Amino acid sequence: MISAVILAAGSSARMGQANKLMLNYQGRPLVRNVVETITSSKASEVIVVTGHEASTITAALEGLDVVFAHNASHSEGIMSSRRKGIQAATKSASGYMVCLADLPCVESYEVDQLIESFQQVRVGDCRAIVRPTHRGLPGHPIIFAGYYRPMLLSAQDGRTLVQLHGAHLTNIPWPTHHVTRDVDSPEAYRRVSAPASSIPFI
């Protein structure tokens, strides 16, 4: 089984006063768009880690089949949220898919393709790590084999974990920018919100 952990606890400081996860995207809160995508995929379970404005995020996701894990220490950074999500996930999962809550362009079929790629790689490597890349840029979600659960629960950050176990990393070249287009600034939000024809393909 694949456990998806969606990190939705941050304060989105670079966005200014607005909580980026509650910005409108295609007629609904951005975070709901992302979570609906993951819940519609082949992920076996979906854990949403909340922190900043947790009740607002929870309300925005009402009715979705997710498990909430609140991170009271979200100000300590993304690693503390990842740890909280992994703690809430099934211990025997074959893979943990770490997802960003501000990546609204990714579609469920793309998540399924990534999961299928991971399952294929894991047949020959029980320590597999699978990551999408677009034009050489690393993207998300990233799937770690269940082998890494103890390390994902530690203070070690994801980039260091990937570097230390690079021999087991498979980068999957992705045809779209969806996996790299996160919303971390007003300009980034403008780009994902604009009509597709007006956004330069990067």
Higher pLDDT, 29 or 17: 29
Q: Is the pLDDT of residue 63 over 90?
A: yes
Q: Is the pLDDT of residue 197 over 70?
A: no
- pLDDT (mean) for 40-69: 97
Tell me the C-alpha distance between 90 and 32, whole Å: 23
Tokens at 155, concatenated: 């203070």
**How many other CB atoms sit within 10 Å of the CB of residue 155?**
11
Nearest to 145 by CA among 172, 173, 165, 174: 165
Tell me the C-alpha distance between 192 and 160, whole Å: 29
Record the pTM. Answer: 0.91
Q: Is the pLDDT of residue 157 over 80?
A: no
Using only the alpha carbons of the chain, give its radius of gyration. Answer: 16
Nearest to 147 by CA among 127, 169, 167: 127
The alpha carbon dihedral of 56, 57, 62, 67 has a sign of negative
Q: Residues, the chain, total?
A: 202
Q: How confident is the model at residue 156 (pLDDT cuts 50, 70, 90)?
A: low
